[in-house]
Amino acid sequence: MDPVVITIFVAALVVVFLVASTVRIVPQARRYNIERFGRYRRTLQPGLNLVVPVADRINTKLDVREQVYSSDPRPVITEDNLVVNIDTVLYYQITDPRAAAYEVADYLQAIDQLTVTTLRNVIGSMDLEETLTSREEINSRLRAVLDDATGKWGIRVNRVEIKAIDPPHTIKEAMEKQMRAERDKRAAILHAEGERQAKILTAEGTRQKDILEAQGTQQAVILRADGEAKAVELVFQAVHRNNADPKVLAYKYLETLPHLAGSDNNTFWVIPGELTEAVRTVTRAFGDESAAGPAKPVPPEEEATADVGDASDDVRIPQLDAGSTVSLDAATAADEAEKQAAAAVSDAKAEAEAAKSPQIPRRGRTSGN
């Protein structure tokens, strides 16, 4: 080959090597630390950068994005001498690439060991119950200690989270039993409270029902009494407005007697002492009042001792003392009284016809002396 061609080819290779050694392209979110003859020179920013060939070289390449580091479970002793395994999750970000490369040899190992020692100091002042319920406090204290220690390393700790706290197996069983007992207790309390509320509501409903039924019965009785009172008042006004005489009243009195035994619960029937006087009034009503003369009131002594034969001639009913009772069945007594009243009315009509006829002499009333 021609020596000139060889020289040109070697020169081209040297130029390409020098250009490649001079130009450095840094990706986004990356930082390159440059050393010149073994001494830190500068940190390359993202983009196109030029360096001195052979003299400058890249020492470390760092990622400045926020990164996550998860530590392995580490045994920690609580204040009540229980060993628990705790693993943490660390969120950190490199803020100074030079310090992260030259201030600490391995920043991840340094952060891990610092997290374990700080965690043991924090957990050692808490018992198991407080450890399980104070995660926010533990995270805050860890972050404060780590952020202060890693600041000179060019690293900012954004968050520290406890991923898991694993107590011993026996403690887990005891905690499960305690939790089960608490849940059973709450269930029993809720059940008893529900039964109590149900009984209260049932009693309240029964009370309201009884009150409403009593009020309804009261209103019904009041309305029924008002209706009966108005009916009696109307009858009373009608009687007085029509000027009813004692004859009609006596006849109505006799019509009412059979209804006294209308109830099935009656075992005896009381016949009033005024029955004889009522029958005599009906007799006079259908007879000649002028011929018979006004009825004279019969004293109770004379009525009690009146002649039985004389009374049978007029009304054909037995003589009774005032207020006396007949020990007969209620229905039989009612039928007997109705028959006697009908017979008295028939005799009275017959006497009235005899009095009106001039051929037949009128039968006079004999005294019971």
**Read out DSSP for 334-359?**
HHHHHHHHHHHHHHHHHHHHHHH-SS
Q: What is the predicted pLDDT for the residue at 136? A: 87
SS3 166: strand
Q: Could you give the 3-state DSSP secondary structure of residue 19?
A: helix
Reported confidence tier of residue 267, pLDDT bands at 50, 70, 90: low
Please report whether residue 159 resides in a domain.
yes
Q: How far apart are CA 263 and CA 270, in angstroms?
A: 13
Say whether both 162 and 173 belong to one domain.
no
Domain presence at residue 184: yes
Is the pLDDT assigned to residue 298 strictly greater than 70? no
Identify whether 86 is part of a domain: yes
Q: Is the pTM of this model over 0.85?
A: no
For position 364, what pLDDT does the model report? 42
Residues in the chain, total:
369
What is the predicted pLDDT for the residue at 279? Answer: 60
Give the residue-averaged pLDDT of 109-137: 87
Q: What is the CATH number of the domain that holds 95?
A: 3.30.479.30
Position 162 scores a pLDDT of: 87
Whole-number Å distance between alpha carbons of 167 and 128: 8
Q: Are 183 and 130 in contact (CB under 8 A)?
A: no
Structural domain that includes position 138: 64-167
According to the per-residue pLDDT averaged within each range, which of 199-203, 232-236, 274-278 is highest? Answer: 199-203
Q: What percentage of the chain exceeds 90 in pLDDT?
A: 16
Mean pLDDT of all residues in 116-145: 87
Residues 6+ away with beta carbon under 8 Å from 37 = 55
Evaluate whether residue 144 is within a structural domain. Answer: yes
Give the whole-angstrom CA distance, residue 152 versus residue 243.
Answer: 128
Least confident of 51-55, 84-88, 161-165, 246-250: 246-250
Most confident by average pLDDT, 37-41, 118-122, 191-195, 265-269: 191-195
**Same-domain pairing of 217 and 174:** yes
User: If DSSP codes are grouped into helix, strand and coil, which group holds residue 86?
Assistant: strand
| Dist. CA 297–CA 275, nearest whole Å | 13
pLDDT surpassing 90 at residue 203:
yes
pLDDT (average), residues 59-73:
89
What's residue 244's pLDDT? Answer: 60
Q: What is the mean pLDDT of residues 324-342?
A: 54
Q: How confident is the model at residue 174 (pLDDT cuts 50, 70, 90)?
A: confident
Structure tokens at 195: 């039964």
Q: Quick check: is 43 in a domain?
A: yes
Give the pair of three-digit tokens for residue 320: 């009774």
| Nearest one of 92, 94, 91 to 60, comparing CA atoms | 94
Is 40:58 a contact under the CB 8 Å cutoff? no
Residues 221-241, mean pLDDT to the nearest whole number: 81
Do 161 and 174 lie in one domain? The reply is no
